[in-house]
Amino acid sequence: MNHDAIWITGVGVLSPLGHRFDDLADALLAGKSGVERVNRFDVSQHPSQIGAAVRAVPCPDDVDPEQFARRDRYSQAILWCVASALQDAGYWHQRQERRIGIVFGLASEWMWQWEEDHFQHHKLTVENASLEGPSRIARLAEELELSGPCTTVSAACASGNFALAQARRWLQMGWVDVCIAGACDMALTPMVLAAFGNLRALSRQNDRPQAASRPFDKARDGFVLGEGGSVLILERAETARRRAARVYGELAGVGLSSDAYHPVIPSPDAAPATEAIRRALREANVTPEQVDYVNAHGTSTPVGDVCETKALHAAFGSAIENTPVSSTKSMTGHLLTAASALEGIACLASFARRAVPPTINLDDPDPECRLNHVAKVAQERPVKVALSNSFGFGGSNSCAVFKAVS
Active site residues per annotation = 157, 297, 334
Pick from 325, 295, 205: which is nearest to 25 by CA?
295
Task: Assess contact for 12 and 182: CB atoms under 8 A.
Answer: yes
**For residue 144, what is the DSSP state?**
T
Task: With both helix axes pointing from N to C terminus, report the angle between 271-284 and 302-316 in degrees, rounded to the nearest 10.
Answer: 50
The answer to whether 330 and 214 have CB atoms below 8 angstroms apart is yes
Helix (H, G, I), strand (E, B) or coil at 257: strand
Task: Say if residues 21 and 13 touch (Cβ distance below 8 Å).
Answer: yes
Please choose, from the candidates 57, 73, 49, 54, the residue with its C-alpha nearest in 3D space to the C-alpha of residue 16: 54
Q: Beta-carbon neighbour count of residue 353 at 10 Å?
A: 17
Torsion of CA 184, 159, 340, 69, to 10 degrees: 0
CB contact burial 126-153 (16+ within 10 A = b; e otherwise) = eebeebebeebbbebbeebebebebbbb
3-state secondary structure of 347: helix
For residue 277, give the nearest of 260, 294, 299 by alpha carbon.
294
Query: Sign (positive/negative) of CA torsion 372, 397, 383, 32?
Result: negative
Within a 13 Å sphere around the CA of 275, how many CA atoms are in the beta-carbon half? 10
User: Kind of pairing, strands 324-326 and 293-295?
Assistant: parallel
Cβ atoms 331, 27 nearer than 8 A? yes
The amino acid at residue 223 is: F
Contact yes or no for 180/233 (Cβ under 8 A): yes
Query: Which parts of 210-353 fold into alpha helices (H)?
Result: 237-242, 271-284, 302-316, 329-332, 339-353
Maximum distance among all alpha carbons in the chain?
57
User: Which three-class secondary structure state does DSSP give residue 35?
Assistant: coil
